[in-house]
Chain A
Amino acid sequence: QKEVEQDPGPLSVPEGAIVSLNCTYSNSAFQYFMWYRQYSRKGPELLMYTYSSGNKEDGRFTAQVDKSSKYISLFIRDSQPSDSATYLCAMGYGGSQGNLIFGKGTKLSVKP
């Protein structure tokens, strides 16, 4: 079993839809959870960062972490064509190394 599992999609939704992106993980030692957005041929851009169970909201984005179920989600409200990108979840153990384990990424397409 891989440490981080993420459905690669692709996921296609109409403009204005609510998007739900998910990752599951197997190692309960993960302490930090992040979502990155990566446009084609660009480096990933940090969207959300959280380290506790529950919800964290930032504009149209909500990150949700359920440590008991080892499950994290990213919700995008009122999706826009500019949200079309690949979304990567990432998890870290903390400590001095700071290595992150990435999911494979979900490719999202928002149609106008």
Chain B
Amino acid sequence: GAVVSQHPSWVICKSGTSVKIECRSLDFQATTMFWYRQFPKQSLMLMATSNEGSKATYEQGVEKDKFLINHASLTLSTLTVTSAHPEDSSFYICSARDIGLSLRETQYFGPGTRLLVL
């Protein structure tokens, strides 16, 4: 149980294009999903908290107009990197909280999406 999937697993795009990453909770419902970014040899950095049916909450320094987040259902959140640039190249990981579990603080992570912007 508690499986989170991400699609695509990797993407290469040209500078200036937009990239959409999907995060799905496969066997549980998640009112809250989180988006992280991880640069090489660095820890996870929280970008935003996504709540189903409401606007995402972005961390300080994260441009909400550049990283569009949509959490349209209890099992799906999407992150769109708009007008991507090489400095946006990173490993993007989502996580989800299972509302049915008593350990609600537990986050289950997807496998990550590696983005390379040329």
Contact = CB atoms under 8 A, between A and B. Distances in A.
Interface in B97-117: 97, 103-112, 114
A28 interface: no
B34 A44 contact: no
Report whether over half of chain B's contact residues are helix, strand or loop; otherwise say mixed: strand
B105 A32 contact: yes
How big is chain A's contact interface, by range?
Answer: 20 to 34
Contacts, number: 54
Contact of B104 (A88, A98, A104, A105): A98
B112 A94 contact: no
B112 A41 contact: yes
A34 interface: yes
A99 B32 CA distance: 10
Given A42-B111, A98-B32, A105 B43 contact: yes
Contacts of B28: none
A92 B46 CA distance: 13
Interface of B: 4, 6, 32, 34, 41-44, 46, 49, 91, 93, 95, 97, 103-112, 114
